[in-house]
């Protein structure tokens, strides 16, 4: 029987809040068994880009990464955020290992092909190096991935952190019974956006399609849920979406996604 | 018999020069057997600090690291430089793993104790985690260390890269026959500073003390050589100092340091 592996993805809303981040990292440290953390960016990248005189450019909610902005996200995601998160986890006695996709060739990607929009140095994931990630896990290390990958031709690439989490989850399902946990600012997928407690506890593939048709799921949630169902179809055992309490044992309000 | 381990330290002079860096990384990739790279900073940290409105402060050739400057060096060393170097090595089929001392608790340090000068968040190395570094080496990974460490209390620390190289070399000597290679802008320790080819090929401890007395060794070289002899006294087999050709097999002009 495969061992359980928890993959947790956190986004900017926690990273931007020092107290919330410290509290989450304490809970994550206490999570038992094999685990991986994937973190997104947060506002510090935007602030630093602005201090350096750069203007961030967004299309469809995705950052368009020119060379100067790639430099900033590499510094902020792989340097500042990744190492500070790793240091805090080490303080909590979690043997965290901060990684980007380039390190030991963990996540191979290619520069997104230009169709209508040129996203610049945005990476789409091709391959996750499960063997190496398993070496880390089996040697009592907890990989902490930032959302920077590479193309093995020397080019770093800025990659969507939700996608990294789902691609790592899918690939690691060959070796583990994987649970993927998306932590974000809400308690789960909401029935009514105005009511933060109107969490839809269970969504299967049929219901997901119905909810989109009914317009219940907002535009911002669709790519996130798309990633989740894609992960489930490709072998991930369970996907949970909720706020930071998701990593605590006593969490009781969150959305569980399943195929059937 | 212990296997050989090459530890190479490069500084700002190579990092600042794109062509020289690419050439060095190609040679380093071709170096056979177990190896570790340690890299220093370079001018990009100073430039970025300046773009962000910060003024770097130096005392006795060491950067004084306040909180804002620690943020910059963490971004530039652990993010920008470390990931770009790692990506280039991956391109050369060297399975590089970019690391800071915080990652998997590889290098534990403490904030330098304030005597006459407060160096701010400068770290002095306490412990190198040889077991974990050996896991990386035995699994065909080449650790690439930047000069950021931590205190296991959540604090990142800016650490001298020469010191990191010698401390890692000393610690790894328990497991390997270690050769430590310092790559810098000169062909070696020079007899006459004006003559770049006046390399002193061999320096033992006696000669080192004579050279200091005679004023042949310049002030900037003394801490570097002090590190080297300290490493030799603590078990490192061989120390070489020279320019980037040091990692090539055909290198013939460099300084070899030994105790006797």
Q: What is the ipTM of this complex?
A: 0.95
A132 and B152 in contact by Cβ < 8 A?
no
Q: What is the pLDDT of residues A144-153, one digit of tens each?
A: 999 999 999 9
* Contacts with B82 from chain A: Cβ below 8 Å: 78-79
In chain B, the residue whose alpha carbon lies closest to the alpha carbon of A94 is: B104
pLDDT for B82 beyond 90: yes
* Contacts with B97 from chain A: Cβ below 8 Å: 103-104
Arithmetic mean of pLDDT, A125-140: 98
pLDDT for A227 beyond 70: yes
Helix (H) or strand (E) holding A249: none
pLDDT confidence of residue A176: 98
In chain A, the residue whose alpha carbon lies closest to the alpha carbon of B100 is: A83
Choose from A102, A126, A156 for mutation: most chain B CBs within 10 A: A102
Q: What Å distances lie between residue B47 and A6, B23, B125, CA to CA?
A: 40, 24, 27
pLDDT confidence of residue B60: 74
pLDDT for B250 beyond 80: no
> Which positions ≥6 away from B252 have C-beta within 8 Å?
none
d(CA B130, CA A26): 27
pLDDT confidence of residue A78: 98
Portion 119-148 of A in contact with B at CB < 8 A:
132, 135-136, 139, 141, 148
Arithmetic mean of pLDDT, B226-233: 92
Say if strands A255-257 and A202-203 run parallel, antiparallel, or are unpaired: parallel
pLDDT confidence band for B61 (50 / 70 / 90): low
pLDDT confidence of residue B64: 84
Answer whether B11's CB lies under 8 Å from B183's CB.
yes
According to DSSP, the residues that pair with A239 across neighbouring strands are: A180, A257
In chain A, the residue whose alpha carbon lies closest to the alpha carbon of B142 is: A104
**Least reliable range by pLDDT among A100-109, A216-225, B37-46, B199-208:** A216-225
pLDDT confidence of residue B62: 65
B78 and A79 in contact by Cβ < 8 A?
yes
pLDDT confidence of residue A146: 98
* Three-class secondary structure of residue A112 per DSSP: coil
pLDDT confidence of residue A84: 98
Query: What's the mean pLDDT when you consider all of chain B?
Result: 93
Please state which CATH number belongs to domain B4-186.
3.40.1160.10
Arithmetic mean of pLDDT, A127-138: 98
pLDDT confidence band for B206 (50 / 70 / 90): very high
pLDDT confidence of residue B234: 97
How is the beta sheet containing A142-145 ordered, strand by strand? A96-99, A142-145, A34-39, A4-10, A177-183, A238-242, A255-257, A202-203
**Which position has the higher pLDDT, B81 or B58?**
B81
Q: What is the pLDDT of residues A85-115, one digit of tens each?
A: 999 999 999 999 999 999 999 999 999 988 8
Give phi and psi for A2, each to the nearest 5: -70, 145
pLDDT confidence of residue B163: 93
Nearest CA to CA, how far is A97 from chain B (Å)? Answer: 4
- Answer CATH for A4-257 from 1.10.260.40, 3.40.1440.10, 3.40.1160.10, 3.30.300.30: 3.40.1160.10
> Which positions ≥6 away from B7 have C-beta within 8 Å?
B35, B36, B37, B38, B165, B168, B169, B172, B178, B179, B180, B181
A102 and B83 in contact by Cβ < 8 A?
yes
* Contacts with B75 from chain A: Cβ below 8 Å: 48, 75-76, 79-80
pLDDT confidence band for A61 (50 / 70 / 90): low
pLDDT confidence band for A62 (50 / 70 / 90): low
How is the beta sheet containing B123-128 ordered, strand by strand? B123-128, B107-111, B148-150, B156-158
| Percent of chain B's residues with pLDDT above 70 | 97
pLDDT for A45 beyond 90: no
d(CA A47, CA A187): 28
Arithmetic mean of pLDDT, B167-183: 97
Nearest CA to CA, how far is A106 from chain B (Å)? Answer: 9
pLDDT for B119 beyond 90: no
pLDDT confidence band for B217 (50 / 70 / 90): confident
Helix (H) or strand (E) holding A100: none
Predicted model pTM: 0.95
* Contacts with A135 from chain B: Cβ below 8 Å: 135, 139
Q: Which residue has the tokens 């191979």?
A: A108
pLDDT confidence of residue B252: 76
A48 and B52 in contact by Cβ < 8 A?
yes
Helix A130-138 to helix A161-172 angle, to the nearest 10 degrees? 80
């Amino acid at each position: 029987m495969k061992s359980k592996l928890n993959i947790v993805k956190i986004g900017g809303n926690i990273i931007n809040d020092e107290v919330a981040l410290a509290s989450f990292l304490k809970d994550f440290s206490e999570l038992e068994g094999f685990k991986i953390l994937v973190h997104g960016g947060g506002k510090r990248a935007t602030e630093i880009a602005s201090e350096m005189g750069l203007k961030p450019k967004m299309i469809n909610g995705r950052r368009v990464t020119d060379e100067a902005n790639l430099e900033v996200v590499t510094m902020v995601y792989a340097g500042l955020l990744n190492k500070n998160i790793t240091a805090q986890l080490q303080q909590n006695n979690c043997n965290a290992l901060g990684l980007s996709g380039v390190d030991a060739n963990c996540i191979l990607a290619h520069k997104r092909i230009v169709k209508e929009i040129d996203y610049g140095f945005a990476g789409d994931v091709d391959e996750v190096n499960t063997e190496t990630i398993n070496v880390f896990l089996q040697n009592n290390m907890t990989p902490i991935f930032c959302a920077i990958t590479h193309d093995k031709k020397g080019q770093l690439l800025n990659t969507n952190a939700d996608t990294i989490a789902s691609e790592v989850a899918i690939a690691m399902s060959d070796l583990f019974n994987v649970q993927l946990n998306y932590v974000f600012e809400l308690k789960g997928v909401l029935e009514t956006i105005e009511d933060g407690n109107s969490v839809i506890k269970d969504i299967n593939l049929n219901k997901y399609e119905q909810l989109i048709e009914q317009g219940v799921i907002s535009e911002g949630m669709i790519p996130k849920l798309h990633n989740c169902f894609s992960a489930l179809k490709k072998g991930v055992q369970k996907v949970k979406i909720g706020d930071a309490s998701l990593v605590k044992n006593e969490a009781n309000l969150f959305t569980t996604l399943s195929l059937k």
